[in-house]
Amino acid sequence: MKIHEYQAKELFRQYAVPVPDGAAAGSVEEAVAIAGRLGYPAVVKAQIHAGGRGKGGGVKLVRSENEAKGAAATILGMTLITHQTGPEGKVVRKLLVEAGQNIAEELYLSLLVDRETASIVIVACREGGMDIEEVAARSPEKIIKVRVNPLAGLQSYHLRELAFGLGLAGNAMKSLAGLVKNLYRLFVDNDCSLVEINPLILTPEEILIALDAKVDLDSNALFRHPALLAYRDLNEEDPLEVEASKFNLNYINLDGNVGNIVNGAGLAMATMDIIKQAGAQPANFMDVGGGATAEMVENGLRLILKDDKVKAVLINIFGGILRCDVFAEGVVNAAKAIGITVPIVVRMEGTNVDEGKRILTASGMNLTSAVDLRDAAAKIAAAVA
C-alpha cells in the first residue's frame, strides 16, 4: 500500500527522523494559515501517490502570503502529470505546507527488501535530488548499496560503510548514523517494502533532513498495523480495483480488451501469455482464487463487464476445489442475472468437467466452449478481431 508524503513524515516524526516543520492542508485558506504560522520562505507541495512532482509543477517555494495563496490555488485541484502518473495525471486533493529549508547538498537514501539476497538493502548516493535516475544510469558506481541481514539487524559497520561511501564525516556522519538507525527501526516495525528519501538534504550546519518521504507498506502485513490502515486513500486507487478488493478478488486493470476470469494466479499469468501469443490483449488480470465459489465468479463477471473497454470475456477455470458442474451453474446464473452483451469463451478442466460442459450447452446461452487453453486463446482472439 502506498501512502502520502505527509503521512510518511508523520511516521518519520514518530521515529525521530528529522523532517521540516509543516502540516497538511485541504484548502487554500488552510494552506495560507499554515505558511503564516511557519514563516517565509515556505514550500507548497502537491500530495499524490506519485513522484516527479517538482518537475511537473507540483512543488513551489513561496516567499509571501500572496505567493502562498497563488501556489496553493494553482496546485490544489490541478491534474498533476509526472513521469510516474501516466499521461492522464492525478487530481491533487491535498497539500503539504512546510518551512523552507537551507540546502547545501541534496543526497539520496532508501531502504528496500531485496528478495534475491533475502536482505534489507540500504541504497545511498551523494548526488540525490530530482535526477537520481540519471545518476544511476550514467555513473552506477556512485550508488552505494549496503545489505543488512534482517536476523542480525543493523550494525555499526553498516553505518560506517554508508558514511565512508558517501564521504561524510564529523557532524554529518553522526547525523547520518542516527537517522539510518531510526529509519531501519521504522522500516522493520511497520513491515515496509520501501522507504525512500529523495532528497535527503545536508544543511549548512551539517545536519541531514528528509525533505521528501516515500513509504510503501507490505499490504499482506497490514492486518498487524490497524493504525496504518487509516492512511489508505481510496482516491488514489483504481475504482474497479477497490471494488474487487471488497469481494476478495485479485484484480488488476490493464489496457487491452479481453476480460479474464481465472482461478489461481499462475493460471492467470499463463492465460495472459497465451492470449497475447494469439494476438489479443488482456483488459485485466483477475484471479478469483483456487478455492473460488460460483458467487465469486459471478462477482468477477459483473465487475469486468463494468469496464467499457472489455469486448469479450475469457473464463478459464481448473475445477479442483470448485467442481466444474457447480462452476458452470454459477456462470449460467450470472450470465442470466447480468444480461451479457459481449461474447464469452469458457475453458474448463477438472472434476466433473463433462457435466459442466453439458450444463453450459443446455443453457442455450451465447457461450463458446473451448477444448484447451490454446483453443480458448484462438477463439477469444477471433471474438475481438
Question: Which positions are annotated as active-site residues?
Answer: 108, 196
Select from 7, 47, 82, 198 the one that contacts Mn ion (CB under 5 A).
198
DSSP string spanning 188-250? HHTTEEEEEEEEEEE-TTS-EEESS-EEEE-GGGGGG-HHHHTT--GGGS-HHHHHHHHTT-E
Q: Would you give the DSSP letter of residue 92?
A: -
Binding site for ligand GDP (CB under 6 A): 43, 51-54, 59, 61, 100-101, 103, 106, 129-130, 198-199, 211-212
- Taking contact as CB under 5 A, which single stretch among the options 72-80, 205-213, 300-308, 326-334 is the one that binds Mn ion? 205-213
Q: Does residue 110 belong to the site contacting Mn ion (CB under 5 A)?
A: no
Displacement of CA 187 from its chain's centroid (Å): 17
Tell me how far apart the alpha carbons of residues 56 and 78 are, in angstroms, rounded to a whole number: 11
Tell me how far apart the alpha carbons of residues 19 and 9 are, in angstroms, rounded to a whole number: 7
Q: Which residues contact 167 (CB under 8 A, 6 or more apart)?
A: 126
| Exposure of 384 in the CB half-sphere (CA atoms within 13 A) | 25
Element of type H or E holding 144: strand 144-148
- Taking contact as CB under 5 A, which single stretch among the options 33-41, 195-203, 250-258, 309-317 is the one that binds Mn ion? 195-203
Task: Work out what residue 343 binds among ligand GDP, Mn ion, none; the CB cut-off runs from 5 to 8 Å by kind.
Answer: none
Of 97 and 228, CB closest to ligand GDP: 97
CB of 100 to Mn ion, least distance (A): 16
Q: Does residue 98 belong to the site contacting Mn ion (CB under 5 A)?
A: no
Of 98 and 298, CB closest to ligand GDP: 98
CB of 260 to ligand GDP, least distance (A): 34
CB of 60 to ligand GDP, least distance (A): 9
CB of 290 to ligand GDP, least distance (A): 40
Of 212 and 325, CB closest to Mn ion: 212
Of 50 and 304, CB closest to ligand GDP: 50
Please count the other Cβ atoms lying within 10 Å of the Cβ belonging to residue 257.
18
Of 48 and 296, CB closest to ligand GDP: 48
Tell me how far apart the alpha carbons of residues 253 and 258 are, in angstroms, rounded to a whole number: 11
User: Long-range pairs for 88-94 at CB < 8 Å and ≥24 separation?
Assistant: 90/48, 90/49, 90/50, 90/236, 91/48, 91/235, 92/46, 92/47, 92/48, 92/58, 93/26, 93/47, 93/235, 94/4, 94/6, 94/24, 94/25, 94/26, 94/47
Helix, strand or coil, per DSSP, at residue 164: helix
Task: Work out what residue 1 binds among ligand GDP, Mn ion, none; the CB cut-off runs from 5 to 8 Å by kind.
Answer: none
| Phi-psi category of residue 248: left, alpha or beta, with phi > 0 → left and psi -120 to 50 → alpha | left
Of 45 and 323, CB closest to ligand GDP: 45
Task: Work out what residue 59 binds among Mn ion, ligand GDP, none; the CB cut-off runs from 5 to 8 Å by kind.
Answer: ligand GDP
- Taking contact as CB under 5 A, which single stretch among the options 84-92, 209-217, 256-264, 341-349 is the one that binds Mn ion? 209-217
CB of 141 to Mn ion, least distance (A): 22
- Taking contact as CB under 5 A, which single stretch among the options 148-156, 197-205, 234-242, 367-375 is the one that binds Mn ion? 197-205
| Exposure of 13 in the CB half-sphere (CA atoms within 13 A) | 11
Q: Give the chain's largest Cα–Cα span.
A: 81
Of 166 and 348, CB closest to ligand GDP: 166
CB of 130 to ligand GDP, least distance (A): 5
CB of 9 to ligand GDP, least distance (A): 10
Task: Work out what residue 101 binds among Mn ion, ligand GDP, none; the CB cut-off runs from 5 to 8 Å by kind.
Answer: ligand GDP
Pairing status of strand 344-350 against strand 367-370: parallel
Q: Binding residues for Mn ion, per CB under 5 A?
A: 198, 212
